[in-house]
Amino acid sequence: MAGLSLEHPWAFAFGLLGNIISFTSLLAPIPTFYRIFKSKSTEGFQSVPYVVALFSAMLWIFYALVKTGEGLLISINAAGCVIETVYIVMYLVYAPRKAKIFTAKIVVLLNVAGFGLILLLTLFAFHGETRVISLGWICVGFSVCVFVAPLSIIGRVIKTKSVEYMPFSLSLTLTLSAVVWFLYGLLIKDKYVALPNILGFTFGMIQMVLYMFYMNATPVVSDLKEGKEGLKMSAEEHVVVINVAFLEGHACRRRHLF
């Protein structure tokens, strides 16, 4: 068991630390959902980040099961599946009818049909090591697509000269998460875990540098007002990948913006 064996103490240590950091990221939306619960309304919040985070967790659990011996990947993503499902159920309870229908559609298309198609293709079209490789690259591809999403929030920070919607603490947490999971992937010699986190670390550093640069800047008022209206409606653009942590990472940052 590569990640759990005492023969790999450093891999176990980084994997355990990654689980802890990622778990805190998974809990980041709690204030948002407490607000939804108190108001009995989703208030324009989007469901897409939670649905995508659930899909990512499902993908990484499947990868870990196919590869075998990846208990630390399974543990954090299993927690992610449970927590994201709770978020989605709460959203469906309090969302208006139109939002409920939209959420149900993307759950069926992504988490049922999409995941089902990947599962069938990898189980019946590939065998042995080829199955692990193909599934690994699917996970990497999805993770990279999700990591590119924060580019729009970076652009908005530059445009508005305001870091109101890019908390430094969350950017730091996601950067640390990317570093930890990269080292874990490196130590267990799993490039599919390590590679996406290079991108996650890069974007995390960019965000922190921008925060330091604009933290005392005077916001562009007109653009900032426009940004406040646009951010709720574009939450789905900035999801993250729980390649263990990283998917939840950026998604949580996006959800924190509200």
pLDDT number for residue 149: 61
Q: What is the pTM of this model?
A: 0.80
pLDDT of residue 245 exceeding 50, the answer is no
**Mean of the pLDDT values across residues 145-159?**
71
If DSSP codes are grouped into helix, strand and coil, which group holds residue 28?
A: coil
For residue 241, CA distances in Å to 46, 168, 179, 200 come to 17, 19, 14, 9
Provide the 8-state DSSP code for 107: I
- Partnered with residue 247 across adjacent β-strands are 241
pLDDT number for residue 235: 35
Q: Which residues of 182-196 are buried (b: 16+ CB within 10 A; e: fewer)?
A: bbbbbbbebebbbbb
User: Tens digit of pLDDT for each residue in 51-94?
Assistant: 988 999 999 999 999 998 888 999 999 999 999 999 999 999 99
In 68-149, alpha helices (H): 71-94, 97-106, 115-124, 129-148
Ordered by start, the domain boundaries in the chain are 9-232
pLDDT number for residue 165: 65
